[in-house]
Structure 1
Amino acid sequence: MSTPIPLPESTHITSTGDLFEEYLENIASSMGATAAAQTRETAISVVSNCVSAYAEAFGEGSVGKNASGKIAPKSPGESSKVANVTGLLYGKVQSGKTNTSMATVALALENGFRCFVVLTSDNTLLGTLIAKDFKDQLASGPIVYDWEEWHTDPKEFGKRIRQDSRLEDTGVVFITTKNTHHLKSLSVVLREARARHFPALILDDEADNASLDTTKASRSRGNEVEPGATYARIGDIRQELAEHVYLQITATPQSLFLQAVDDPCKPRFCVMSKPGDGYVGGSDFFSEDSVMQREVDPDEFDALRSGKITVGTGPRAPRGLRDALTLFFLGCAQMRLQDLSLVRFSFLAHIDITRVNHGELRTVINDHVTWLDKALRGRLSASDTKEAEADLARAYEDLKKTTKGLKPLNELRKSVERSLRNVRAEIINSDTGGQQVPYQNGPNIFVGGNRLSRGVRIDNLMVTYYGRDAKVKLMDTVHQHARMFGYREKLRATTRLFSTRTILDSFKIIHDADEGLREAIGQDPTNMELKPVWIGPKLKPTRANVLNPFDLGVVLPGRNIYPWCPKYKVADVNSLTKELDSLLKGYEEKKYHDVPVSFLAKLLALTPGEERDGWIWTAGRVREILRALEGSKIGINRGLLHISTRKGAGHEVERKIETPTDTADGKDLAQAKKLYKQAVPILFLRKQRGAKDPDKWDDCPFYAPTLALPRVKFAFMFSNV
């Protein structure tokens, strides 16, 4: 957890209260004592910082321990300008930030805050879910209203709140999506309710999604244009609340670095929320030793998107989808028999944003479920039954790898046979509007589109079948569609992600970059452990004219970096190899040679590599890193060179096709780390023989580089676009 801003001696908070303790008891019963303790710690940190920042901006007495809960009348001539008091709550995807928000509201209420505004994404389903959570979990606390309750007559609605003294009496929570019409109506409600007379807290969920000023870049070029509509409407709400704290909530560490690098208006405080026990996240799905990934042939997703699925005898679903569904059904049976408290489970298929494809995929899934149901019960041919049994056996062998206490296959089969006849896939996309996710007991199958965006929860999601077109930029989608993340410890053994190797590798790259940013931020986001050093071209606005945090990348100190794949074609490297052979004459093999950093840069210019979206290594970026090392901030002018050619014969490393080709020798890297303590950059050049068979090269020798970066107090920031 982050260290709260030190509070002035005269500013104290109440760190407990009936509603706060009641809510934490609910967290403990549903998620465990550790999760409740972490939620308590984070909420106390957030409220402590909010009270401190509020007191600094507006004076003491309105909020905090024994606070009045009212704003003192302003003296004649005193400024009524709304101060910009902004804080940041930063956590992980699907890690319980909504729980922390509710705990924060419960504790802030005890400390004098009376008006709460909760802004959700412009997604009716998500907004409805969050509103229901607040109403259910804070039933004995402030009155909770959502946009549906005031949209017909916001003026009259606000008057009733004022007449009933709701803000002064119990406090009020207003929940709305970031739909501009709803935001405009809320401004009217707040004005009529006289909300500006009470201390307020605005909680902006996914603050980097839809809340940014989309015309800021245009205005900076001298164009006279109005601020973006959503940004402007949120600004109107802030104007109606004379004294408030604006709390941004996000799971994207990129946002913090954008503020550190680009934004002159930084938050006054930042609190890091850590996930509790039982959280299943990126490290589980995308680590090197993950047991949750399953590869699917990319041609399968292409066929599903095109609608060209061959219909004949037997199952209609292609192999990957068949395996995913069968494992899901067996996993459901295992979990039901193992834990009677688990009554419903979910499968998510997400292959495209096109609604026509959603309908086609639903048909394919439903046809396959019908086939599997009948085949297992002997209602089809003997060959169908045999094929269905083979599918079950495949899935059972898969579950054996991860599931302790796996029930006998015959026992699981009986459970599957009883459950399949009522299983039907449901579509969740923009056509289904704001409806709740339609769960039933037992297996649930959902086909989704963009409506499955940030924050939308899928209960007990066990298996995800993900095939979004690889041409779509995945940096956004891993965050927007990471519905597989969440508190699912009980389902960990049966959880799977089915996708193509390319997508899985892309997700891993994104996850590693994400974790790198979190590591750079450290435990206290208000005092980042590593200072950013910008390299290369500055970030450019996206087409929406806002800076996109997903366009930000980072290279951490102490890391080993290398090309996705060295260039190896004769036309590309033949002359370069000869030039390197000449330059490297006189340097003894397998020794560390002290050389200028500029010489390392010269050698690297002769070792071109393939460049991939999201992959750290590009020729320009590496050149800029070395230039930054030599610069005044860091001041490292010399490095080490290590060469290995096997006495000119060359090494024999096989070229990887869909994954990075790492040509380095792990023993050499470990030795260098031990000898030189990562104090200077070290360039490892390994000459490759480049044989066409069996190593998949072009019968031309070449040099493959690995650059070991020094462990300095700086992170190298760059634009991905």
Structure 2
Amino acid sequence: MSYLSNYLDRIVMRGNPSLAAAIKKTTDDIIPQYVSNFTFKEHVVSLLVGDVQSGKTSHMFGLISAAADEGFGIFVLLTTDNILLQQQTFKRAQKDLSDFCICDENDYLSFVNNNMRKPVIIVLKKNGRILKQWKNNFSSTNFCAGNPLFIVDDEADAASLNTLINRRKQSTINKCLNEIKQTTSSSIYMQVTGTPQAILLQTLESGWKPYFIYYFKPGQGYLGGNFFFRAEQSPYIILTDNNEAEELLVDDEFPENGLKTALMMHLVSSAHVFLDGGTVSNFLVHPSVRTDQHGKFAEKIGDYLNEISITSEEPETAESFEIVYNNLKETKTNIRPFSEIFEFICNQLENDQINILVINSLNSYDDNVQYENGINIIIGGNSLGRGVTFPQLQTIYYCRLAKSPQADTMWQHARMFGYDRDAAFMRVFMPPILYKLFSDINTTNNNIIAQIKKFDHNSDIKIFYPTGLRPTRRNVLDKKAIGIFSGGVNYFPFYPRNKDITALDKILEPFTDDVYLVNLKLITRILELTDSETDDWSATAFTGFINTFIVENPLAQGRLIVRRERDIAKGTGTLLSPNDRRLGDTYDNEVVLTMYKVTGKKGWDGKQLWIPNIKLPGDIFYYNV
């Protein structure tokens, strides 16, 4: 019997052979290298990265099935601390993994009575009380100590990391997860997320830096960052005024604005979906983290709907809808005739069939399950983030702007990503400032994925973001261990030394005192031969950053400036001459390495040596653990 084969057969029987093939590739890549040779005497942390809403659960189930074939019998599947999400995962596991003993949070007797006859999966929320309870459950059984745990932590960056790291304490959830691992002699802890920034910036000492990383590609039909935030502006993005969200809430009139246009587009696309036999169409409005604003937006949209209904027989209303209709027709060429669309909209408004739903901390998900059917307008904040999937989501109005935006949080708000969308109908409304931030995040995401693929699952991944955009929240990063380097700033070792000056002389011999356009790989070779007597210089960090550019373009170029016979004193507070500093600054979007060979006469014991000065490109922060 093969648990993996049975799981894949079920997926094929449901009509999705391409998904089965993708899962098989993931298991073929991970299991032989990292699971089959497990030593049963260590605790291994790993990371599975997939795009937001790209099918991570299916791949998680595939890896669980394949690990069961390798002799693992106890699996813990962790979800975020949300009752609905935990229950959704539990019921899906029951449906998809019928060969297993699937246990809910209160199924301790089922777990014990199973007595290892079947592999068991316990689906738990990341909740302190629940985790402590199951830590005690594992400790009290006589078969846990001798069987390794296989822990799969969905959205592992959300609550699992130590939020008290900078106070040299341990947060409750992080401590509970450590204690669960220690109930057995060995474990594999697989972190799973679509936003790995916080995990990639963990230290080895934290215990949460992954031993290996694996990225799986999304399947056919997935709409993600490269669909919406590509180099050229997408026709599926409609830019609004930066201050529109604030202004429209204090305007009692019915002016032209992005929210009104988005609402009309939602009505048009919904009409087509329902006239074609569909049963659901959703519009997501994400204005702010503040719950009071959610209510104000709901009232504003309600006023807009009433205004449309009242003026539906006036020519101006039909003309406004026809403009929106023609915009959608540019991408949805087979859209139904406008007359049918507009008649359907008027009938729906007349019969009060458009639902306005507010989802936030004041309203539970259980009260809002009606977005699974009907024409819905969903308004909320944080509750519209991780783990929540909205079927047939075609229109998004996103204007939430944090004072200190975090890349992982923003990317989790990208509910437009996924499979269950008609690409031709997709429209995302956002101000230019947010479009730029999302585009920057997508650029770094692509670079992270390229590094994972290039460096053979090595976990030393470098991250960079523009000034003003943080990779993640500060409280999970050890500020004593994270180095942050600024683009456009000159860095050099205060007390330099050369690992091999003869080798450096040889590399730099062809270059006279001038500036050269060179391959970035040459710059890394030079940096690898530099060092410092103290910890003020990390050639490894700089070569790591440069390698992120090389991953995307092996022919990437930088500038090399060479100067010899420099009579510079040891311990000087500056290195570059004013002229060389100005020269380097002219190449603000390139890597610039300036190599000074000093005479050694002023405090260097008469020994000549090369001193590097490097400037990374752009108005960007580069993060290094």
TM-score normalised to the size of structure 2? Answer: 0.73
Which of 269, 275, 287 does residue 331 from structure 1 map onto?
269
Amino acid aligned to 2:177? I
Preserved contact between residue 31 and residue 66 of structure 2 (Cα < 8 Å): yes
Tell me if the contact between 1:114 and 1:198 (Cα under 8 Å) persists in the aligned partners.
Answer: yes
Show CA shifts across 1:86-134 (max 9, x none): 2221111111111111222233333332221111122334333323322
> Which residue does 2:280 correspond to in 1?
344
Question: Is 1:254–1:517's contact at 8 Å kept on the other side of the alignment?
Answer: no
CA distance in 2, matches of 1:719, 1:38: 32
The within-5 A match list for 1:541-580 is 543-544=474-475, 546-547=477-478
- The alignment of Structure 1 onto Structure 2 pairs a total of residues equal to 523
- SS of 1:325's partner is helix
Is the counterpart of residue 183 in structure 1 residue 141 in structure 2? no
RMSD: 4.0
Deviation at 1:183, TM superposition (A): 1.4
Aligned equivalents of 2:207, 2:102: Cα separation in 1: 35
Match of 2:157 among 183, 196, 208: 208
Structure 1 counterpart of 2:440, from 481, 493, 509:
509
Of 477, 488, 496, 2:409 maps to 477
Mapped to 2, the partners of 1:485 and 1:217 lie a distance apart of 34
Q: Distance in 1 between matches of 2:71 and 2:143?
A: 14
Which secondary structure state, in structure 1, belongs to the residue aligned with residue 51 of structure 2?
coil
Q: How does 1:390-539 map to 2 (within 5 A)?
A: 390-420=319-349, 421-435=352-366, 437-488=369-420, 491-523=422-454, 525-527=456-458
Partner deviation per Cα, 1:405-425 (whole Å, 9 max, x = no partner) = 122211222232333421121
SS, match of residue 163 in structure 2: coil
What is the rounded CA distance, in whole Å, between the counterparts of 1:391 and 1:88 in structure 2? 49
Give the residue type in structure 1 aligned to 2:157. Answer: D
Distance in 2, matches of 1:390 and 1:552, equals 57
Q: 1:447 & 1:94 partners in 2: Cα distance?
A: 20
**Conserved in 2, the CA contact under 8 Å of 1:335 and 1:491?**
no
- Aligned residue number for residue 97 of structure 1: 56
Alignment correspondent of 2:506: none
What SS is found at the alignment partner of 1:405? coil
**TM-score, length-normalised on structure 1?**
0.64
| Equivalent-residue separation in structure 2 for 1:680 and 1:309 (angstroms) | 52
Q: In the TM superposition, what is the alpha-carbon distance from 1:594 to its structure 2 partner?
A: 7.7
Contact 1:517 1:554 in 2 (8 A): no
530 and 125 in structure 1: CA distance in 2 versus 1, 3 angstrom threshold: closer
Asked if the contact 2:222–2:418 (Cα under 8 Å) also holds between the matched residues in 1, the reply is yes
Cα distance in 1 between the residues matched to 2:624 and 2:240 = 28
Question: Match for 2:361: what amino acid?
Answer: S
Percent identical = 27
Q: Which residue of the partner structure matches residue 234 of structure 1?
A: 177
Task: Provide closer, same or farther for how the CA distance between residues 706 and 262 of structure 1 changes in structure 2, counting only shifts above 3 A.
Answer: farther
Q: Is the 8 A contact 2:359 2:365 kept in 1?
A: no
Q: CA deviation at 1:49?
A: 4.3
State how far apart, in whole Å, the 2-side matches of 1:486 and 1:540 are. 23
- Report the counterpart of residue 696 of structure 1 in structure 2: none
Cα displacement (A) at 1:192: 4.3
Q: 2:27 aligns with which of 40, 43, 47?
A: 43
Map residues 100-119 of structure 1 onto 2, 5 A cutoff: 100-119=59-78
Of 365-374 and 506-515, deviating more is: 365-374
CA contact (8 A) 1:121 1:205 kept: yes
Q: 1:720 to 1:396 in 2, by over 3 A?
A: farther
- Give the whole-Å Cα distance in 1 for the aligned partners of 2:464 and 2:293: 45
- Write the deviation string for residues 249-296 of structure 1: whole angstroms up to 9, x where unpaired: 122353575369997875343322110111100111111331111011
SS of alignment partner, residue 451 of structure 1 = helix
Deviation (angstroms), 1:526: 1.8
CA displacement 1:222-241 (0-9 Å, x = unmatched): xxx4x211100111221224
Deviation at 1:387, TM superposition (A): 3.4
CA distance in 2, matches of 1:473, 1:401: 34
Q: Distance in 2 between matches of 1:460 and 1:95?
A: 15
Structure 1 residues 175 and 195, CA gap change in structure 2 (3 angstroms): farther
How many Å separate the matches in 1 of 2:441 and 2:447? Answer: 10
Cα 1:528–1:546 change in 2 (3 A) is: closer
2:462–2:623 contact (8 Å) kept in structure 1: no
What is the distance in 2 between the residues matched to 1:529 and 1:233?
Answer: 27
Q: Is there any run of 5+ residues in structure 2 with no aligned partner, and where?
A: 490-510, 531-552, 562-584, 594-615
Equivalences for 1:5-16 in 2 at 5 Å?
16=4
Deviation digits for residues 268-327 of structure 1 (CA, Å, limit 9, x no counterpart): 4332211011110011111133111101123321135xx4231x5xx4x76211100111
8 Å Cα contact 1:346/1:445 also seen in 2: yes
Paired with 1:92 and 1:288, the residues of 2 have a C-alpha distance of 19
- Quickly say closer, same or farther: Cα 1:529–1:204, change in 2 above 3 A: closer
In 1, Cα distance between the equivalents of 2:22 and 2:521? 41
Q: Map 1:46-125 to 2 at 5 A.
A: 46-54=30-38, 56-58=39-41, 83-125=42-84
User: Where in structure 1 are there 5+ consecutive unaligned residues?
Assistant: 1-12, 59-82, 151-156, 220-224, 379-384, 556-560, 564-592, 601-624, 636-673, 684-702
**Structure 2 residue aligned with 1:387, among 313, 316, 333?**
316
1:44 and 1:104 in contact (8 A); partners too? no
Q: Which amino acid aligns with 1:279?
A: Y
